[in-house]
């Protein structure tokens, strides 16, 4: 069978939605955004010899914060193949087409949330972290004391742009978080508030927005009632304590609150995480789209200096394949073709986990993702940034 992969036309989006609904069991009625063109979003379809749509994939125009700098990314979403065509390489062909397109539009890296990891591992993606949340007993949350300088007020749709600006201030000091700009992030909400959000609380200090809480109320008020926090932002400890106090105020009607976790943020020092009733972690995977851009467009730790050469193998993105030399100094990095054959080898999946700070060079070697005659600890230069995090599912 000869596959034809191309961008889908607007009148083909309904068929793509039905294919996704068959694969993932979604609702019968598609949201309006799934049936119209969205600026920056590219949906690809794979067609068989008879012109039937047998597979689809979406390239999301994401950006991530990395070392305080924006890195252009390809968010991979909605990968689906008809049952009769699974196992025949359709997904791999779609992934290769997406990588080539993403590189052409300037992307440096790619992330996705896998439903099955082996398909994406075979195409060069590797698990680099988890999207974490924790269930806490609202009765066990601390109430604020002496934080009267923080003013708490209800918010609404008109406040959402301010919340997005606040998110940028918080997110840019963490590696890996999305900028939440472009693509579907810029689409208008179908209701007054984002999906699954019922209430907004704003925190201000001397008139400046320093925190925000967006939550879904859920149903009922019995022992199984639960709040779902959509967004929890704070620029300082006093604001974090005040917003946790708002959550604690729900103790009379909701026993449990589910909170997204971001290690090292202001809430990590306030929430009683040791009392968690349950924890959940959705794996996310990463791979470079263009290794030169991936190194050159991110920020690097200012105190790190070094140089390491390695031979990278990347079967699906041949422009990444070959011998490279990484140089890091003064908060910047460059990747250039190596003048001599390196002593170290690195699989593209190894590049991914090191770039995200998810492993050391020797750990990558133990996993079969690095090797050669040299000491793989030298590859720690690629892993010199903090562990990357995500807060968004897509």
Number of domains observed in the structure of the chain:
3
307 lies in the same domain as 248: no
- Which CATH number is 224's domain given? 3.40.630.30
Tens digits of residue pLDDT in 70-129: 999 999 999 999 999 999 999 999 999 999 999 999 999 999 999 999 999 999 999 999
Residues 261 and 171 in one domain: yes
Shared-domain flag, residues 320 and 265: no
pLDDT at 214 over 90: yes
Q: Which of 107, 123, 153 is the last residue of a domain?
A: 107
Q: Rounded to an integer, what distance in angstroms lies between the CA atom of residue 142 and that of residue 259?
A: 14
- The predicted pLDDT at position 28 comes to 86
pLDDT tens digits for range 289-309: 999 999 999 999 999 999 999
306-313 and 226-234 strand pairing: unpaired
Same domain, 159 and 190: yes
Q: Which residues pair with 153 in a beta bridge?
A: 202
Lowest mean pLDDT among 90-99, 141-150, 357-366, 370-379: 141-150
pLDDT score at 146: 65
Q: Do residue 308 and residue 254 come from a single domain?
A: no
pLDDT average, residue stretch 190-204: 95
Q: Among 301, 306, 336, which residue's Cα sits nearest to residue 322? A: 336
pLDDT the model gives residue 26: 86
Distance CA 271, CA 259 (A): 10
Domain termination site, one of 237, 271, 305: 271
How far apart are alpha carbons 119 and 260 in whole angstroms?
A: 28
Give the end of a domain, one of 271, 298, 329: 271
**C-alpha to C-alpha distance for 292 and 297, rounded to whole angstroms:** 8
Residue closest to 390 by CA, chosen among 73, 27, 31: 73
163/239 same-domain check: yes
The CATH number for 318's domain is 3.30.1050.10
Residue 128 lies in a domain: no
| Structural domain includes residue 356 | yes
The whole-number pLDDT of residue 245 equals 96
**What is the predicted pLDDT for the residue at 291?**
98
Same domain, 9 and 103: yes
Residue 250's pLDDT is 96
Render pLDDT for 224-256 as a digit per residue (tens, 0 to 9): 999 999 999 999 999 999 999 999 999 999 999
- Residue 115 located in a structural domain: no
- The reply to whether 17 and 49 lie within a common domain is yes
pTM of the model: 0.95
SS3 379: helix
301 plus 344 within the same structural domain = yes
User: Which residues span the domain enclosing 257?
Assistant: 142-271
Instruction: Name the residue among 139, 225, 173, 226 with its Cα closest to residue 66.
Output: 173
Average pLDDT estimate for 313-342 = 98
Side-chain-side CA neighbours of 207 within 13 Å: the count stands at 0
Q: Are residues 28 and 97 in the same domain?
A: yes
| 225 touches 254 (CB < 8 A) | yes
Separation CA 306–CA 60 (nearest Å): 34
Residue 117 within a domain: no
Residue 27 domain flag: yes
Q: What is the pLDDT of residue 189?
A: 87
Q: pLDDT tens, 18-49?
A: 999 999 998 889 999 999 999 999 999 999 99
Q: Label residue 118 left, alpha or beta by phi (over 0 means left) and psi (-120 to 50 means alpha).
A: alpha
pLDDT band (50, 70, 90) for residue 223:
confident
pLDDT tens readout for residues 269-278: 999 999 998 8
pLDDT at 1 over 80: no
Percent of the chain with pLDDT over 70: 99
Q: Are 265 and 326 in the same domain? A: no
Phi, psi (rounded to 5 degrees) for 346:
-145, 125
pLDDT for 238: 95
Q: What percent of the chain has pLDDT over 90?
A: 94
239/328 same-domain check: no
Q: What is the Cα–Cα distance from 141 to 132, expressed in whole angstroms?
A: 19
**pLDDT at residue 147 in the model:** 64
Q: Answer yes or no: is 236 within a domain.
A: yes
pLDDT, tens only, 122-172 = 999 999 999 999 999 999 999 887 667 999 999 999 999 999 999 999 999
Q: Cα 283 from chain centroid?
A: 10
């Amino acid at each position: 069978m000869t596959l034809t992969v191309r961008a889908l036309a607007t009148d083909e989006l309904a068929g793509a939605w039905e294919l996704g609904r068959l694969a993932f069991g979604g609702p019968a009625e598609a949201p309006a955004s799934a049936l119209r063109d969205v600026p920056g979003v590219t949906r690809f379809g794979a067609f068989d010899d008879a012109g039937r749509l047998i597979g689809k994939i979406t390239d999301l125009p994401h950006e991530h914060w990395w070392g305080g700098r924006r890195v252009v990314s390809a968010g991979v979403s909605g990968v689906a193949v008809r049952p009769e065509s699974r196992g025949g390489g359709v997904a791999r062909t779609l992934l290769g087409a997406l990588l080539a397109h993403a590189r052409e539009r300037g992307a440096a890296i790619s992330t996705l949330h896998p439903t099955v990891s082996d398909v994406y591992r075979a195409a060069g993606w590797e698990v680099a972290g988890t999207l974490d949340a924790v269930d806490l007993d609202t009765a066990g949350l601390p109430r604020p004391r002496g934080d009267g300088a923080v003013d708490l007020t209800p918010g609404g749709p008109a406040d959402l742009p301010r919340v997005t600006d606040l998110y940028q201030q918080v997110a840019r000091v963490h590696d890996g978080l999305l900028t939440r700009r472009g693509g579907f992030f810029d689409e208008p909400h179908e209701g007054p508030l984002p999906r699954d959000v019922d209430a907004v609380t704003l925190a201000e200090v001397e008139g400046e927005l320093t925190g925000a809480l967006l939550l879904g109320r859920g149903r009922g008020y019995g022992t199984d009632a639960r709040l779902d926090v959509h967004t929890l932002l704070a620029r300082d400890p006093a604001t974090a304590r005040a917003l946790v106090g708002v959550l604690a105020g729900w103790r009379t009607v909701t026993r449990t609150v589910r909170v997204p976790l971001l290690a090292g943020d202001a809430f990590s020092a306030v929430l009683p995480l040791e009392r968690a009733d349950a924890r959940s972690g959705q794996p996310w995977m990463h791979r470079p789209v263009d290794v030169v851009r991936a190194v050159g467009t991110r920020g690097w730790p200012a105190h790190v200096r070094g140089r390491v050469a390695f031979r990278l193998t990347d079967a699906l993105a041949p422009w990444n394949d070959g011998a490279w030399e990484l140089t890091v100094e003064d908060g910047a990095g460059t990747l250039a073709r190596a003048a001599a054959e390196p002593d170290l080898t690195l699989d593209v999946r190894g590049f991914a986990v090191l770039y995200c700070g998810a492993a050391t060079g020797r750990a990558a070697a133990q996993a079969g993702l690095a090797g050669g005659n040299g000491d793989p600890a030298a590859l720690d230069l690629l892993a010199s940034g903090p562990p990357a995090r995500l807060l968004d599912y897509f």
